Chain A
Amino acid sequence: MTLAQASDPARDTASISAVASVVDLRVHFESKAGRVHAVDGVDFDIRDGETLGLVGETGCGKSVTARSFLRLVPMPPGIQAGGSVLFRPHHRCSNCAGEGCLECDGSGRLPIECPDCGGTGCPSCGDTGMQTIDLSTLPEKELRRIRGNRIAMIFQDPAKALNPALTVRDQIAEVFYQHRTEEVLERAGTAGGADLLLHRHVNQRSRWPERALLSLPPLRGRRNRVEEVVDEMVAAALAETQIPNPTKVMDRYPHELSGGMKQRVMIAQALACNPDLLIADEPTTALDVTVQARIIELIKDLQGRHQSAVLYISHDLSLVRRVCDRVAVMYAGRIVEIGVTEEIFANPLHPYTRGLLAAIPGRGHGRGQLVAIKGTVPELIDPPPSCRFVERCSFAVDVCASLDPEIEFGSGNHGVACFIHNPPEGAAEVPSFSRRTS
């Protein structure tokens, strides 16, 4: 294995087309027992159109990482202790109006040029020439324009994520009202923002006197026309997720739908604005296997059509293997291994990844012969500078307990943070897979 530095040229070219980059992200939580380092120095890129899997056990920080994209981590008790999440938004392809053409590779989206340098590359955009937004410092008001529009999220439990007091139609319509105001007005034939009342209504900012005016004859017809347009858009979004009879489902409340149907509604809501990045936080954990299979196929199919990048978070390795192009394995707030899916599964480099793969009951294991990883996930309160996996690792030596391995990239962009592959300079003893120490 050849060693490469963090400035690996292959990695740099890859980051050019990255739709989002997480740079040394640190999210900590203040607790009575001390500071919990939930996410502690996470680095990765999500390339345009790819599916990146983020796997790890409960409490390894994968959900916190995902929520940091949209700043959904409550602060306090959360603390952004460092790092940033960079996002490079796209706008609708002007050539084809979002239909998909050669120029935009069928995705209907084109990257926005950096306003500072006009696409030639400058320090503010990291020499990519694309508009780069730092999501961790963006004002709340501007972040709201990105949430649900350019970056959308699917949550684990659709029963909790949908508002029980709103019909399916109202929940999805909100996305269009908030992010597609102009388009709604245009389709309803009242474009140009000439009609302030209607504009405010579509933007969900109207107050009761305005609503009263809108319900009276001169304006009522136009308001109804707007509602019809939104109904059509909602029905189209629902039909996209293969929901039978969308017009009927629209009038239902979430409790009237089955789990799989609720998850479809969430997916429809997330994809309504054709986002650049979709964050799926364990989208099938709450579902049955037969339903899970359909949701997975659906996400894959929709991703293929929309060319959105997907950050797929899961603890199920067999699922990740099917869905993702690349996989990042997280352990105790760090990424321990990242690489192309086949590489990770065929040639896992980190002892933790190896342990995880061996622990899945597959048909290759005899009964009672699962290779369990001993011990439990360590508490992340003020962790010492050592490999986080040292207490559970069967190959650990002294150096693992005193030094913290950095992630280093080898051939084929396969990165691993382990001294077995990247021995520290001047260490007396180097760990190796050929020698078990405990």
Chain B
Amino acid sequence: MTATLEGSGVAGAELRGDFAISVQNLAKHFPIREGALQKVAGHVRAVDGVSFDIRRGETVGLVGESGCGKTTLGRCVSGLTDPTSGGVYFDLTTAERDRLGEIFDVPENGRNAEMVVELEEIDRLHRIDRIKKQEWLRYRRNCQVVFQDAFASLNPRHLVREIVGRPLKVHKEASGDQLTERVVELLERVGLGRQHLFRYPHQFSGGQRQRISIARALALDPELMVLDEPTSALDVSVQAQILNLLNELQQELGLTYLFITHDLSVVRHMADRVVVMYLGKVAESGATSDIFEDARHPYSHALLRASPDVDDDPAAALMTLEGSVPDPARPPQGCRFHTRCPVATARCGWEVDDVVRWLEDEPGMFDALSDVTRVDAFTADLVFADESAAAKLEAALRSGKMPEAARQALVEVRRDGARTHIAFTPVSEVKLTRRGPGHEAACVLDLTLDRV
């Protein structure tokens, strides 16, 4: 942006670090309230322990199905939502980032006094919900958001001049004629012009509205833009215009993008690095070419094979996944994807809930189930109304009705009348492991593409 920053209390001082954003162990849980007293009955774990970095000037694509927590994560990064635990750090040098990573590798209760002091220090300077007011304002102007629905995110009763000029006013950057000129400059930058100044959002098409959103986001000359599905409401020909515009802006202004989308062809086109999320966790992350050509997580693989590409052979079958995404209030143990994984093994975290889920889909069985007494997630007593149902379950658990991997993980099945005791091998959570330079996947197997 050519305009100088003047009259601003919080000058947009240059960022110095290599890492624009570092997300560390971020979690956001939403309470489920029930009953007349609105007692908290549980938590939806929208984001559940996510870590990744965004270097300056790069585009990170965040992909996943609806409900996997990608939008919540975007809102946490942009400071619109406070995380439940973990933190978003901004403007870190490589040394600080490495130290932070080391500290977070140690579980919270195992950190020594020195680490705690050091973490406090980094938190105070860089964590967006701990920094001083001045710094917070600096972050807010450096991190702007473009939302999915450009109609809902533009005030229908404001003129374009007010919408795009609003950030400049809030940060006391310009007023009067000067503001108008700055707005015109911004509009021209995104392919609109002076003639659009005094119009309302409803007078624009979808693509033009998205351009206005981008102009508003650019007003304060930000470093980082969080793009939350910026093109999913647009047609392909207009989507192409917007993607080209975003690229141009990135090249001219050196912007950093966090690009949230469910469209893999867009991510492949835009992103330098990709983070694949599933049910609030990172399934895989790495360079775009690594993910698209050498996916190591069965979920990323399924996602890629399920989305048709125009350049692909149309006769090749699309890969389909069985079942649906489990309830995020009770995420599966071990690997969260094991309930739908085509290559699941005994080590993937089979648990009592898998048996309950199976019962739900089996005619008549779920109605016969009267109680589940859990010892832990892997061991429980299932109590049935009659003995025949319990016997049926016992037989099913030993037969081909259950996945082979689940049967291998089953250590004990004991029927005592209408009560069936089952126990699976306990498995801890599957961590992200290194698969190549900058390429990590959370899978117990070391898969290559063609084996899935």
Contact pick for A290, options B270, B303, B362, CB 8 Å: B303
In the complex, the chain A residue whose C-beta lies closest to that of B322 is A294
* Contact between A361 and B362, CB atoms less than 8 A apart: no
Q: A294-B320, A318-B310 are in contact. Are A288 and B262 (CB under 8 A)?
A: yes
The interface size of chain B toward A, counting residues with CB under 8 Å, comes to 48
User: Does A372 sit at the interface, judged by CB under 8 A?
Assistant: yes
B-side contacts of A297, CB under 8 Å: 317-318, 320
In the complex, the chain A residue whose C-beta lies closest to that of B272 is A367
Instruction: Report A295-324 residues with CB < 8 Å from chain B CB.
Output: 296-297, 315-319, 321-322
* Contact between A361 and B363, CB atoms less than 8 A apart: no
User: Does A34 sit at the interface, judged by CB under 8 A?
Assistant: no
* Contact between B236 and A356, CB atoms less than 8 A apart: yes
* Contact between B319 and A293, CB atoms less than 8 A apart: yes
Give the one of A317, A345, A361 with max B CB within 10 A. A361
User: Does A371 sit at the interface, judged by CB under 8 A?
Assistant: yes
Instruction: Report B254-294 residues with CB < 8 Å from chain A CB.
Output: 262, 264-266, 268-270, 292
Cα distance A248–B358 when bound, in Å?
13
B-side contacts of A362, CB under 8 Å: 265, 309-311
User: Does B248 sit at the interface, judged by CB under 8 A?
Assistant: yes
Q: A294-B321, A322-B308 are in contact. Are A363 and B237 (CB under 8 A)?
A: no
In the complex, the chain A residue whose C-beta lies closest to that of B250 is A368
Q: A57-B235, A373-B237 are in contact. Are A289 and B306 (CB under 8 A)?
A: yes
Chain A 350-382, CB within 8 Å of chain B: the 1/0 string?
000001111111111101111111101100000
* Contact between A376 and B208, CB atoms less than 8 A apart: yes
User: Does A247 sit at the interface, judged by CB under 8 A?
Assistant: yes
B-side contacts of A374, CB under 8 Å: 241
User: Does B302 sit at the interface, judged by CB under 8 A?
Assistant: yes
User: Does B10 sit at the interface, judged by CB under 8 A?
Assistant: no
B-side contacts of A358, CB under 8 Å: 240
Q: A244-B361, A361-B268, A372-B244 are in contact. Are A293 and B309 (CB under 8 A)?
A: no
* Contact between B308 and A319, CB atoms less than 8 A apart: yes
* Contact between A318 and B244, CB atoms less than 8 A apart: no
Q: A258-B324, A296-B318, A356-B237 are in contact. Are A363 and B268 (CB under 8 A)?
A: yes
User: Does A292 sit at the interface, judged by CB under 8 A?
Assistant: yes
User: Does A13 sit at the interface, judged by CB under 8 A?
Assistant: no
User: Does A100 sit at the interface, judged by CB under 8 A?
Assistant: no
Cα distance A291–B251 when bound, in Å?
36
A-side contacts of B237, CB under 8 Å: 57, 355-356, 359, 372-373
* Contact between B308 and A376, CB atoms less than 8 A apart: no
Q: How many A-B residue pairs have CB under 8 A?
A: 130
A-side contacts of B205, CB under 8 Å: 376-377
User: Does B239 sit at the interface, judged by CB under 8 A?
Assistant: yes
Cα distance A261–B270 when bound, in Å?
32
* Contact between A293 and B318, CB atoms less than 8 A apart: yes
* Contact between A361 and B265, CB atoms less than 8 A apart: yes
A-side contacts of B362, CB under 8 Å: 245
Cα distance A294–B206 when bound, in Å?
30
User: Does B25 sit at the interface, judged by CB under 8 A?
Assistant: no
Cα distance A370–B231 when bound, in Å?
14
A-side contacts of B307, CB under 8 Å: 289, 293
* Contact between A292 and B306, CB atoms less than 8 A apart: yes
B-side contacts of A111, CB under 8 Å: none
Q: A294-B320, A359-B237 are in contact. Are A245 and B361 (CB under 8 A)?
A: yes
Q: How close is B239's CB to chain A, nearest CB, in angstroms? A: 7
* Contact between A364 and B311, CB atoms less than 8 A apart: yes
Contact pick for A315, options B235, B240, B241, B321, CB 8 Å: B235
User: Does B345 sit at the interface, judged by CB under 8 A?
Assistant: no
* Contact between A293 and B320, CB atoms less than 8 A apart: yes
A-side contacts of B269, CB under 8 Å: 361, 365, 367, 370
B-side contacts of A365, CB under 8 Å: 269
Q: How close is B195's CB to chain A, nearest CB, in angstroms? A: 15
In the complex, the chain A residue whose C-beta lies closest to that of B319 is A293
Cα distance A348–B350 when bound, in Å?
51
Instruction: Report A97-121 residues with CB < 8 Å from chain B CB.
Output: none
Instruction: Report A274-296 residues with CB < 8 Å from chain B CB.
Output: 288-294, 296
Q: A359-B237, A372-B240 are in contact. Are A247 and B248 (CB under 8 A)?
A: no
Q: A57-B236, A367-B247, A370-B269 are in contact. Are A289 and B262 (CB under 8 A)?
A: yes
User: Does B185 sit at the interface, judged by CB under 8 A?
Assistant: no
* Contact between A317 and B236, CB atoms less than 8 A apart: yes
Q: How close is B342's CB to chain A, nearest CB, in angstroms? A: 12
User: Does B65 sit at the interface, judged by CB under 8 A?
Assistant: yes
User: Does B207 sit at the interface, judged by CB under 8 A?
Assistant: yes
* Contact between B360 and A360, CB atoms less than 8 A apart: no
User: Does B103 sit at the interface, judged by CB under 8 A?
Assistant: no
B-side contacts of A289, CB under 8 Å: 65, 262, 264, 303, 306-307
Q: A376-B205, A376-B238 are in contact. Are A360 and B65 (CB under 8 A)?
A: no
Could you list 27 examples of A-B contacts with CB < 8 Å? A58-B235, A245-B362, A245-B363, A248-B360, A261-B324, A289-B303, A289-B306, A290-B65, A291-B324, A294-B320, A317-B310, A318-B309, A318-B310, A345-B314, A357-B310, A359-B236, A359-B237, A359-B240, A360-B236, A361-B266, A362-B310, A363-B309, A364-B311, A367-B269, A367-B270, A370-B269, A376-B205
> Contacts A293-B320, A294-B320, A376-B238 given; 12 further ones with Cβ under 8 A?
A289-B65, A293-B321, A296-B318, A318-B309, A322-B308, A357-B310, A358-B240, A360-B310, A362-B265, A367-B269, A372-B240, A373-B237
User: Closest 4 CB pairs between A and B?
Assistant: A368-B247, A361-B269, A372-B240, A359-B240
